[in-house]
Chain A
Amino acid sequence: MVPLSYYLVLSAILFACGIAGFLIKRNIITIFLSIELMLNGVNLSFVAFAAQLNKLEGHIFVFFVMVVAAAEAAVGLAIIIAVFRTRETLNVDRVNLLRL
């Protein structure tokens, strides 16, 4: 059996990649994907702990996170399409009309 620490390290790597992508990338879709990456990194640690401890709660949490992520994807993609239609760009630095 694969030890728990492997899962956790992988989860941390996925999460760190998500953060790095979120902070560095300009493209809004990439940022969106980075967020999904972070969520799934967290999901991985949840299921890893659930399997290790033989508890059901971890699995349930993952389902919740997936549901929220799906809803977010739907809303987020709709926003991205709307933004692209009006601004004709996906660069977040240029979507700054509300800034002072």
Chain B
Amino acid sequence: MSMHLWIIPLLPLTGAAINGLLGKRFPKALVNTIALGFTAAAFLMALWVAVQFAGLSPDQIPHIERYATWLSAGQFSAEYGIYLDQLSLVMLLIVTGVGFLIHVYSVGYMEHEGGYYRYFAYLNIFMFFMLTLVLANNYLLMFVGWEGVGLASYLLIGFWFLKKSAANAGKKAFITNRVGDFGFLLALFLLIKHFGTLQYDSLWKLVSQHPVESAGAGLLTAIGLLMLVGATGKSAQIPLYVWLPDAMEGPTPVSALIHAATMVTAGVYMVARSSPIFDRAPDARLAVAVIGTLTAIFAASIGIVQTDIKKVLAYSTISQLGYMFMACGVADYIGGIFHLMTHAFFKGLLFLAAGSIIHGLGGEQDMRHMGGLRKYLPYTFWSMTVATFAIAGLPPFAGFFSKDRILWSAWSSGNHIIWLIGVITAGMTSFYMFRLWFLTFFGEYRGPNPETAGHGHDTDAQHAGSHGHGAPHESPWVMVVPLMILALLSLVGGWVGVPHSLHGSDHFEAFLAPVFQAASAGTTAPEPAAETGVNSTELLFSGISVGLAALGLLLAWYLYYKRPELPARMAKAAGGLYTLVLDKYKVDELYGAVIIQPLIALSTNVFWKGIDQGLIDRAVDEGAEGALETSDAMRHMQSGNIRSYAGWVAVGATAVIAFMVWRGLR
């Protein structure tokens, strides 16, 4: 039975084509209808597919649809096809569902912006590529989506391309991702070389005959590590995370959709999808866990001191992605995907709420100029509260269940150091999120006096300039309703995965388990600890992480509500350390000095001035010059004097005759 799954990605593509090619002349209402209509259609179809999927018997899963051969070269061929299993179904629903909500929100947020049709065309094309990425039935097609979302991300980060910082941020994101893509491509080449196929189904069959590389590194370890390089680029992990904070130059709904909820989780999806490879390469999997853990605590520490509301959220995203990698690294792919889902809800919500604040303040992004906003933006306040509690990991919000599951897997897999860092990070997460919450919504409003100053700071591009701004105001309904829906999801989203230790039935685990059980058959993947004996331990560990989250809350309350003058004094006391963290550990400067400057110098002096100008240009120039000089010398033969021509003919004829006579005499 075919579900005609190919229609799903094509729906947003159609929207993008119509809006992108013709939208310039359309009124805004029509652009909205097209962009939202096609996205909504994709979401509805995804729901229908989910219902159909529920009716499939276990042996019909994965449901694979093949449409055509895309390319074939020798033994190798790749096809257009769709691979639908529990994992891609979850991703499909997240992408279309959250994507649709953010489209709705964008209608309100982008109302005053130029290039309205362009924005929605980009957003739709992002949906197309993201759906291609998650639905593809082979790595090559996945790579198309992988690159496509990178393109959409570039276009949307640089949406206000007249602003130099935005254009640069777009370039930075794209180029940093290229580094990761290089690794991913190499992994694909290795797969083609050794297995001859990139189709998931046949690849898993071949990989499953491969022994576990526990004794030493081998082919699968190399492939896994290269895939990790690709994932660090797309999912903003150490060392390639630097582009994500800069990506906040884009419109806030873009940050919510692409740089929090969906695109940056592509790396996690890819690692989870490649679980058969990682399960047979424990070293590569450990590298995933280490990278994820380090990123989690590193980004969280930067997030603590940032003052730009979107920057805090950006570092928080990097940190949460680190959790997902940590989960995949300790073979708890389900936990990673679970956190991916809850994170899509609460982080999407946090960004949208932040966007609502920025919108309400006319472009202000600095939290030092906010405060007391719960009076002005009540709906935003309440939805943001839910999201903050969710990300802090306080029960019964969604983040609690997913984060706790990851930490428990880290502990029970024996990686106690990873668990320890994860728990500390959880406390830090709670602290910086409640810091944001207190700074933004409590205390006195520290912005410009509404009566005297008409405009906020011009940080979110033309946002401030385009509509005159008085007091902070709540956002229109079209923006508030998506906030509420996401708030609801952030509250209840975790309930699908209530662990057994809390007397839940963990539907999420039961749903996704077949994907990873089939994949890891015959490997040493740790057995999920479901025995009753460990329940009390698990509860104890939940208690520890909730306790740390509460501690973070209290600390934030004390520092930013009770004694708001204290943080500045502490920053002064910390001195150089504080500025170092505020400057993001100077990683950008380090990369600039170690990689970018030498590259620029090499390109300028060797490739540009040496090879391009010195060799290629010079060969062309000298060739032309030589031809000119030769012709200049020769043109005197062509004097226009008939008799000189006749003379040359005579000389030539004499030469020929002399030659022939000489031949005859010889």
Identify the A interface with B (CB < 8 A): 19, 22-23, 92, 96, 99-100
Contacts and interface: CB of A to CB of B under 8 A. Distances in A.
Contacts of B640: 96, 99-100
Contacts of A99: 640
Interface stretch (B38-46, B95-103, B394-402, B641-649): B641-649
Contact of B650 (A19, A92, A96, A100): A19
A100 B641 CA distance: 11
Interface in B620-654: 640, 642-643, 646-647, 650
B647 A92 contact: no
| Chain A CB within 10 Å, residue with most, of B643, B646, B647 | B643
B646 A92 contact: no
Nearest to B654: A19
Contacts of B646: 19, 22-23
Nearest to A12: B657
Nearest to B640: A99
Interface of B: 640, 642-643, 646-647, 650
B130 to A, nearest CB: 69
B650 A23 contact: yes
13 contacts: A19-B646, A19-B650, A22-B643, A22-B646, A23-B643, A23-B646, A23-B647, A23-B650, A92-B642, A92-B643, A96-B640, A99-B640, A100-B640
Nearest to A22: B646
Contacts of B650: 19, 23
Nearest to B653: A19
Given A23-B643, A92-B642, 5 more contacts: A19-B646, A22-B643, A23-B647, A99-B640, A100-B640
A90 to B, nearest CB: 15
A12 B643 CA distance: 20
A24 B115 CA distance: 80
B622 to A, nearest CB: 29
Nearest to A26: B643
Contacts of A22: 643, 646
A42 to B, nearest CB: 13
Contacts of B647: 23
Contacts of B643: 22-23, 92
B656 to A, nearest CB: 14
A14 to B, nearest CB: 15
Nearest to A93: B641
A16 to B, nearest CB: 9
A35 to B, nearest CB: 10
A20 B415 CA distance: 107
B489 to A, nearest CB: 85
A22 B643 CA distance: 7
Nearest to A24: B643
Nearest to B647: A23
Nearest to A98: B640
Contacts of A92: 642-643
Contacts of B642: 92
Nearest to B643: A23
A85 to B, nearest CB: 21
A38 to B, nearest CB: 11
A37 to B, nearest CB: 14
**Which one of A23, A99, A100 has the greatest number of beta carbons of chain B within 10 Å?**
A23
A99 B650 CA distance: 23
**3 A-B pairs with least C-beta separation:** A99-B640, A23-B647, A19-B650
Nearest to B639: A99
A99 to B, nearest CB: 5
Nearest to A16: B650
Nearest to B649: A19
A9 to B, nearest CB: 14
Nearest to A99: B640
A15 B114 CA distance: 88
A19 B642 CA distance: 13
B226 to A, nearest CB: 69
Nearest to A96: B640
Contacts of A19: 646, 650
A99 B642 CA distance: 11
A79 to B, nearest CB: 14
A92 B640 CA distance: 12
A23 B653 CA distance: 14
Nearest to B650: A19
A92 B650 CA distance: 19
A76 B642 CA distance: 16
A66 to B, nearest CB: 22
A90 B642 CA distance: 15
B344 to A, nearest CB: 78
B520 to A, nearest CB: 87
Nearest to B644: A23
A23 B643 CA distance: 5
Contacts of A23: 643, 646-647, 650
Nearest to B642: A92
B490 to A, nearest CB: 86
A88 to B, nearest CB: 21
A96 B647 CA distance: 18
B632 to A, nearest CB: 16
B643 to A, nearest CB: 5
A23 B650 CA distance: 9
A24 B650 CA distance: 13
A22 B648 CA distance: 13
A43 B598 CA distance: 82
A10 to B, nearest CB: 17
A55 to B, nearest CB: 22
B362 to A, nearest CB: 73
Contacts of A96: 640
A12 to B, nearest CB: 10
B651 to A, nearest CB: 10
Contacts of A100: 640
A100 B643 CA distance: 17
A92 B646 CA distance: 14
A100 B647 CA distance: 21
A75 B359 CA distance: 95
B658 to A, nearest CB: 13
A25 to B, nearest CB: 9
